[in-house]
A = this chain, B = another copy of it.
Amino acid sequence: MNTAPDPAAARHRWLTDEEQRIWRAYLHATTLLEDHLDRQLQRDAGMPHIYYGLLVGLAEAPRRRLRMTELAMKAKITRSRLSHAIARLEKNGWVHREDCPSDKRGQFAVLTDAGHEVLRRTAPGHVTAVRQALFDRLSPEQQKALGEIMEIVAEGLQPNEAGADLPWLR
């Protein structure tokens, strides 16, 4: 179950007003930004943000291909979700699957030329959107701080961390 009787920690310490303010700002900003980028990419590239990220992941990989599990890990999504997503991208002609010769269970997702072309065409607009929403509004110090903070948070939730769950292994 959940938080079993654990005498050690101050289990039920509430958030202070200040913490609450920060937490709400976080939720507020992240949902707005995600919505914003999702809409931007849906409009300009015909796919949600996460799908775009998959194409980027493939574009960066050697020979523009990655095993399904690797891509899932890179994108931090479950393999199930990836399976559906690649099916859709395949239908769009932006990705195709290829059998792995060395492991017959394995599949490669491979970025097609059409997929690469979509990226080439839409990446500038996307970068601009990110820049306008985020980097253009923050001082260099704030950018640096943001990077550090996010690295800490990510590290703490890293799946190989003790007690963390393993979304893509389920």
Contact = CB atoms under 8 A, between A and B. Distances in A.
A169 interface: no
Contacts of A124: 3, 9, 11-12
Interface string A114-127: 00000000001101
Given A28-B76, A29-B153, 11 more contacts: A2-B125, A9-B128, A11-B124, A14-B127, A22-B150, A23-B134, A32-B158, A33-B157, A142-B148, A142-B149, A142-B152
B157 A127 contact: no
Contact of A153 (B21, B134, B145): B134
Nearest to A78: B35
Contacts of A27: 53
A156 B143 contact: no
Interface in A6-25: 9, 11-15, 18-19, 21-23, 25
B152 A137 contact: yes
Contacts of A76: 28, 31-32, 35
Interface string A140-168: 00111111111111101110000011010
Given A150-B25, A153-B32, A157-B32, A127 B3 contact: no
